[in-house]
Amino acid sequence: MGTSVAYDNLARLGISILPVFAFLFGLRFLDSYKLVSLRRILLAVFAGVAVAGVCYFINSLGFEIMPLKGPWYPIVGAPILEESLKAAYIAYLIRKSRIGFMVDAAIYGFAVGAGFALLENIVYVQAFQDKSLLLWTIRGFGTAMMHGGTTAIFGIVTTTFLARSAYHRWIVYIPGLLIAMVIHSLYNQALLPPLQTTVAILVGLPILMSLIFLQSEKSLQSWLGNKLDKDMELMQMIATGRLLETKAGLYLRSLTNSFQPQVVGDMLCLLQISLELSAIAKGDLMRREAGFPVTPDPSLPAKFKEMAFLEKSIGLAGKMAIAPLLSRSSRDLWEVYMLSQGSKAASAST
């Protein structure tokens, strides 16, 4: 008898969670650049499980002691809490330059939502012994997909705002978070019958993600082409000694009024090595898109060591002075992070 119950629970859990994981790995398959590794996806899933555990205890208290009792807590309290904590992990990845493009944000966000849904459905399977396949199908194709979709949307909206902003400010996180909360709240209000809501998610989410992937790949290709051309042009000017004829060169020359000549020289070296690293990163991306294997450049560890030395040599004031010449957008920082991982791999192989 106990074995039969265990099998029933396992079947219900499978129906309620497999769709969201199938969709998650489908997203990774569609990503032609494959920038998000399987290990990082699994870490995001585990983060979602941890968030669900925290929310379970807080929500249990919320239903009991908060003034928003009855149907109001699921409509207001739970969406605010759950979407904020799920979004916190994506915000952490963005702050650490782990995410560079919308497609990365979509995959990481959906992974966090999948982990959240996994633990939530385990709890529901234990709490409700309802054998109705319709209930667990709705939880799998509806609720679980909603959790993945809202966090993915948060990441997508945030990276979009970051790409249009020269500075990383906390306000860029607000629009995506509000959208995720509103969608979650509307879902909990059950404005449509559960089956119709599930069908709407099943139809709408793939279309939305497909459009996002197309836009992200277009954006990435445009960024690759334009930025690589500019980087190569500037590198050629440095190599041929024509940099001083440009506005960048005039700006560097003006810094000699505030810094010693050797410090300005180190600034020029830092600019050159930053451009070289940027060109290497873009070359790796192009090889990934073409389907060629990408092996760590053996020169990377030395380049990163030299860059660290130059940054220390010019000091904080020097880094602030040369900031207008160095690319430090969210995508450029992500680029440096991706290369740094290659640098570690190159060091380990030597």
CB burial of residue 288 (10 Å; 0-12, 13-18, 19+): middle
Average of pLDDT values for 291-301?
74
Distance CA 251, CA 314 (A): 16
Higher pLDDT, 63 or 281: 281
Q: Which of 112-116, 247-251, 256-260, 268-272 has the lowest mean pLDDT?
A: 247-251
Which residue in the block uniquely carries the two structure tokens 């915000």? 91
Percent of the chain residues topping a pLDDT of 70: 72
pLDDT confidence band for 217 (50 / 70 / 90): low
Residue ranges per domain, the chain? 2-218, 241-349
Position 190 scores a pLDDT of 76
**Residue carrying the six token digits 């992974």:** 111
pTM, two decimal places: 0.70
- Whether the pLDDT of residue 55 is over 90: the answer is yes
Answer yes or no: is pLDDT of 26 > 60. Answer: yes
Residue type, 330: S
179's CB contacts (< 8 A; 6+ apart) are 150, 153, 154, 157
Using an 8 Å Cβ cutoff, are 83 and 150 in contact? yes
Given a cut of 90, is residue 90 above it in pLDDT? yes
Mean pLDDT confidence for 217-227: 63
CA distances 182 to 27, 169, 187, 243, Å, are 24, 22, 9, 51
**Cα torsion angle, 166, 167, 173, 175, sign:** negative
**Full DSSP string of 131-157:** --HHHHHHIIIIIHHHHHHHHHHHHHH
- Mean pLDDT across the chain, nearest whole number? 78
Do 145 and 114 touch, CB atoms closer than 8 A?
no
Q: What is the DSSP letter of 255?
A: G
Proportion of the chain above pLDDT 90, given as a percent: 18
What pLDDT, in 10s, does the model give residues 1-18? Answer: 456 656 666 767 777 788
Distance CA 14, CA 3 (A): 16
| The two structure tokens encoding residue 292 | 């060629």
The arithmetic mean of pLDDT across residues 183-190, rounded, is: 87
Arithmetic mean of pLDDT, 330-339: 66
Asked if residue 343 has pLDDT above 90, the reply is no
pLDDT tops 90 at residue 201:
no
More confident residue, 162 or 325: 162
pLDDT at residue 321 in the model: 76
What per-residue confidence (pLDDT) applies to 258?
76
Task: Give the C-alpha separation, 213 to 225, whole Å.
Answer: 18
Mean pLDDT of 51-69: 77
DSSP state letter for 41: H
Q: What is the mean pLDDT of residues 165-184?
A: 84
User: Sign of the CA dihedral 26, 31, 37, 42?
Assistant: negative
Give the per-residue pLDDT at 269.
Answer: 85
State residue 1's pLDDT score: 43
Report the alpha-carbon distance of residue 39 to residue 202 in Å, rounded: 27
Mean pLDDT of 70-80: 81
Q: How far apart are CA 213 and CA 222, in angstroms?
A: 14
Q: With a cut of 60, say whether residue 193 has pLDDT above it.
A: yes
